[in-house]
């Protein structure tokens, strides 16, 4: 979320609207939408519509949700739901053997699923960016070890799914 860009005709001294921030807010909203889907078992279309009609038109938890990338939000939520049968085994494999996915907090499950979805389907976004973004999302929700766990699990999956891209960074300890 630290990228800055300038619009044509704009000086470098004034930052432009930052698409990275819009995606970061979309990721935060997607995690909350997936949490709501899991808890309420509501249809995906209903949850997305509720977020678009009500939640995404306000400032929540310090994030201006009006500035999010709506197509990114929709893509993550729908993608996680569509690919969950492929995503969950990958997450489960990356977790400690005595701590299966079903035992992980619902908010963390949503974060991990979102991160793995992006690692799977968004080759246009560097793996390290995806991992960092979801660690930041974890920090928005948790003060403890959870962000490190998100980092470790997504890093492990990123190394498996994008070995060439991830080959230059050290391997973390198992989460």
Residues 41-82: tens digit of each pLDDT: 888 888 888 877 766 655 555 555 556 788 999 999 999 999
DSSP code per residue over 88-136: HHHHHHHS-TTS-GGGS-HHHHHHHHHHHHHHHH-TTS-HHHHHHHHHH
- Res 107 pLDDT > 60: yes
Least-confidence region, from 41-45, 94-98, 109-113: 94-98
Q: Is 14 helix (H, G, I), strand (E, B) or coil?
A: coil
Question: According to the model, what pLDDT value does residue 4 have?
Answer: 35
Question: According to the model, what pLDDT value does residue 64 have?
Answer: 52
Closest CA to 77 of 15, 18, 35: 35
DSSP code per residue over 135-157: HHHHHHH-SSSHHHHHHHHHHHH
The model's pTM: 0.79
Question: According to the model, what pLDDT value does residue 5 have?
Answer: 35
Other Cβ atoms less than 10 A from the Cβ of 167: the count is 8
- For the record, the structure tokens of 103 come out as 């035992």
């Amino acid at each position: 979320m630290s990228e800055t860009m300038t619009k044509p005709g704009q000086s470098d001294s004034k930052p432009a609207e930052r698409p990275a921030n819009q995606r970061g807010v979309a990721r935060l909203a997607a995690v909350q939408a997936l949490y709501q889907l899991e808890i309420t078992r509501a249809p995906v279309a209903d949850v997305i519509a509720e977020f678009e009609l009500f939640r995404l038109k306000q400032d929540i938890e310090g994030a201006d949700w009006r500035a999010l990338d709506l197509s990114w939000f929709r893509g993550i939520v729908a993608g996680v739901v569509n690919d969950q049968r492929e995503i969950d085994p990958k997450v489960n494999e990356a977790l400690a053997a005595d701590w299966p996915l079903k035992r992980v907090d619902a908010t963390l499950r949503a974060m991990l699923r979102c991160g793995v979805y992006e690692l799977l389907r968004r080759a246009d976004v560097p793996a390290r960016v995806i991992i960092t973004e979801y660690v930041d999302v974890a920090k928005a929700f948790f003060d403890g070890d959870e962000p490190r766990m998100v980092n470790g699990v997504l890093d492990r999956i990123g190394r498996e799914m994008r070995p060439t891209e991830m080959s230059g960074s050290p391997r973390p300890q198992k989460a």
